[in-house]
Amino acid sequence: MKLARDTWLIFERSMWLTLHNPVWVVFGLMMPFLYLVLFGPLLESITRTPGFPAGGNAYNVFVPGLLIQIALFGGSFVGFGLIAELRSGVVERMQVTPVSRLAMLLGRSLRDVVILLAQAIFLVVIAIPFGLHIDLPAVIVALGLLALVGLVMAPFSYALALFSKNEDAFAPMVNAIAMPLLLLSGILLPMQLAPEWLRTIAAFDPFSHGVDAIRALFNGSFGDPSVGGGVVITAVLAVLSLYAASRAFGRSVA
Amino acid sequence: MAEQATAMVETHDLRRTFKSRTGAVEAVRGVDLRVEAGEIFGFLGPNGAGKTTTLRMLATLISPTAGEARVAGHDLLREPGKVREQIGYVAQGGGTDPAMTGRGELVIQGRLFGMSRTVAEKRAVEVLDSLELTDAADRTTGTYSGGMRRRLDIGIGMIHRPRLLFLDEPTTGLDPQARANLWDEIRKLRETGTTVFLTTHYLEEADALCDRLAIIDHGKIVARGTSDELKSQVAGDVVTLGVGGANDAALSVVSSQPFVREASVEGDLIRLYVDNGDSAVPQLLRLLDGAGLVTQTISLNRPSLDDVFLRQTGRSLRDTAA
């Protein structure tokens, strides 16, 4: 009960601060839009390439990838905000209140998930005129899975921020981890196009399962085995990430 | 209340060692403290003396390497959560978000301590009013002056009416008027029964504001007591003499006098600790005159806390303070 209340308080404050900084909100919506407009048309001709998944509609392959990309990159950069809060002393100030340490993490992470879902819905809606076909129940499940990906990335980013404590150390660390995860997850192009060795490595990228699952959902195949697998793997990762990050919050900022 | 009879802060052999690449740094080396309920207690010392580290330990932010402490009636190590409910803590750099309004910060802080939104909003109005921040309440803290931000920091620290408020260097960086203003706020807190534990490296602040003091240097307490008690440890009054470079001759004349407790040369001046300054000055002048020495300057001062610090550490706090 206290955890829920504390989480809500931290969420409310974080959300207020985010919404009062419209630069980030607009920037966050511009990115996927630019990808869609400036990169999407390239894909239309690729769908005829041998090896491209059958029944391939370019946007039904590409939009799920973009969604994961927003989750991966948007999520991994949230730590920058926490570093600013560490520097201003806000985190330390709250650590000397009875507020739950887990709530300090959950409140911020849930704000990140809400922002992520808003961006995702915006992207899906504007992709429809480009040619994206959607099956509403499947898309809703896909968004749920996307929220889980956000719950993996945001706590992970916060833990890294608490560990590194400054942007100079944080930025390269985040890039070094997020970039290969992104490339191997088959976000931009389906991994079916990849050579055997690359596909083998990619299977170890936990997010590739999430991407596969979200793609399957966008193609309306609820029963696809990748859906269940993707959800389970991502959920396990989210729990691990939340656990590690809440421990980092519990330890002091010293 | 039974707790009123006991100390608000009591530490025993509190220690903290930081590990760095060059080895272990002993920031706090066995601090024993007792802060009584209702007083303003000052921790005076130069930068790097271990003041902030001690305060952060007592505020549950870092754990001691060794030692014990009771803070606001609870064991620091076993019940840090209970301690947090009873205390307020204002860090040296404050803790406000530049994009948040003053009122917003006060309300969220109250709610984090369990107040409902309505109660927290009412309390925020009171605090804003008492700190004369009402006009700036709905501006973002990024637009505040240094003094206003510091007052808001203290408001955030006291929103939940803590029994004990820690203030780390509350007036560092403020102009004299803002400092005097803040001193008044801190005295008002004492009137409402709040115990205040502050750190400072300003002698005037320790002297003017604190009921009792502990002087800390290199992680250890070197003296403690009221300002007057500490000053009386310094034998008598301080006479500073300038004799135009004839320091050695002058020193040999005056140091043998029974009323001169201590004599030392500091730069171009001679510093004497004498029993009774008012009668010592004419006697000194006669003696120096008789020895054929020309006294160019002479001044008589009551001992300051700096003299206490100097005597305990061999350094002047004015030189070591940043």
A93 touches chain B (CB under 8 A): yes
**Cβ contacts of A147 within 8 Å, gap of 6 or more:** A113, A116, A117
Sheet holding B23-35, edge to edge: B23-35, B9-20, B66-71, B74-75
Selecting from A21, A90, A98 the residue whose C-beta is nearest the C-beta of B96 gives A90
Are B26 and B15 a contacting pair, CB within 8 Å?
A: yes
Are B213 and B252 a contacting pair, CB within 8 Å?
A: no
Are A63 and A40 a contacting pair, CB within 8 Å?
A: no
**Which secondary-structure segment (H or E) carries A137?**
helix A136-164
Torsion of CA A150, A155, A156, A159, to 10 degrees: 160
Residues of chain B with pLDDT > 90, as a percent, come to: 57
Selecting from A6, A96, A254 the residue whose C-beta is nearest the C-beta of B87 gives A96
Residue B20 pLDDT grade (very low, low, confident, very high; cuts 50, 70, 90): confident
Residue A98 to residue B114, Cβ atoms within 8 A: yes
Continuous H helices in A39-100: 40-46, 58-69, 75-76, 79-88, 90-95
Selecting from A89, A97, A253 the residue whose C-beta is nearest the C-beta of B93 gives A89
Positive or negative torsion for Cα A225, A227, A229, A230:
positive
Number of H helices, E strands in chain A: 13, 0
Q: Distance from B276 to chain A by nearest Cα, in Å?
A: 49
**pLDDT score for A191:** 74
What tens digit of pLDDT does each residue of B220-260 get?
Answer: 999 999 988 888 777 678 888 888 878 888 888 888 888 88
Are B299 and B240 a contacting pair, CB within 8 Å?
A: yes
**How confident is the prediction for chain B on average, in pLDDT?**
90
**pLDDT score for B1:** 43
Read off the pLDDT of each residue in A123-142 and give the average, rounded to a whole number.
89
Q: Look at residues A222, A220, A244 and name the one whose alpha carbon lies nearest to residue A161.
A: A244
Are B39 and B62 a contacting pair, CB within 8 Å?
A: no
Distances (CA, A) of A96 to A13, A36, A249, A250, B76: 17, 46, 12, 12, 13
Phi, psi of B4 (to 5 degrees): -60, -30
* DSSP secondary structure letter of residue A77: T
**pLDDT score for B103:** 98
- Cβ-Cβ contacts under 8 Å, B97 against chain A: 17, 85, 88, 90
| Strand locations in B129-173 (E) | 164-168
Q: Distance from A4 to chain B by nearest Cα, in Å?
A: 12
What tens digit of pLDDT does each residue of A40-85 get?
Answer: 787 777 776 766 665 567 888 888 888 988 888 888 889 999 999 9
Question: What ipTM was predicted for this assembly?
Answer: 0.87
- Residues B289-305 as b/e (b if ≥16 CB within 10 A, e otherwise) read eeeebebeebeeeebbb
For an interface test with B, which of A19, A85, A90, A93 has the most B Cβ atoms less than 10 Å from its Cβ?
A: A93
pTM, full prediction: 0.85
A9 touches chain B (CB under 8 A): yes
- Residues B174-198 as b/e (b if ≥16 CB within 10 A, e otherwise) read beeebbebbbebbeebbeeebbbbb
Query: Which has more confidence, B201 or B314?
Result: B201
